[in-house]
Amino acid sequence: MLIRDFTPEDCTALVEILKANLQYGDPLTEGPEAMLRVHKCPAAVFLVAEEDGKPVGMSRGVYDGSKALIHIVSVHPDYQRRGIGTALVRETARRFQAMGATNVSVTVPGDNLDFWKRLSFRLTTRIMFAHPIERVIMGSRERQD
């Protein structure tokens, strides 16, 4: 297995991985165009796990100069439970540390808490989500469940 930086050629395979894990809810933030924007962002760490020349997993996160945050880790279901997710998280953390981070947080979707706890994360807060962003800007008070 190889952990490497994302390249634009990875987009199609990564979309399929996200879909297979039910993590492709919003093409605007998870789709190919979003991946290309993340790839160009100097604050982002965007890694791909590769086996036999094909992408089998990915991680994405940012370091803003003070806090590091992993947004997503996704491994194709056929390749899970082989240490790929762990390798992606550890390499992401190494990259953040090299950028100056002293700690790292993660947004945890679904029921993956045990995976993250094994990697020394602890549950501390919940993340709230506003989509689309216009609701925040315009001050909409509509309740979203």
User: For residue 137, is pLDDT > 80?
Assistant: yes
- Residue 78 belongs to a domain: yes
Query: H or E stretch including 113?
Result: helix 113-118
Q: Which residue has the higher pLDDT, 145 or 118?
A: 118
In whole numbers, what is the pLDDT of the chain averaged over residues?
Answer: 90
Q: Does residue 144 carry a pLDDT above 60?
A: no
Residue 144 lies in a domain: no
For residue 20, tell me if it sits in a domain. yes
- Domain containing 109 — which CATH number? 3.40.630.30
Number of structural domains in the chain: 1
**pLDDT tens-digit map of 74-131:** 999 999 999 999 999 999 999 999 999 999 999 876 667 888 888 888 877 666 767 7
**51, 60, 52, 53: which is closest to 18 by C-alpha?**
60
Residue 143 placed within a domain: no
Question: If 0-12 CB within 10 Å is exposed, 13-18 middle and 19+ buried, where does residue 14 land?
Answer: buried
Confidence of residue 142 (pLDDT cuts 50, 70, 90): low
Q: Which of 64, 60, 72, 48 is nearest to 103 (CA)?
A: 64
Could you tell me how many residues make up the chain? 145
Q: Is residue 124 part of a domain?
A: yes
Supply the pLDDT for residue 126. Answer: 66
User: What range defines the domain where residue 106 resides?
Assistant: 2-138
Query: How much of the chain, in percent, has pLDDT values that exceed 70?
Result: 90
Assess whether pLDDT exceeds 70 at residue 140.
Answer: no
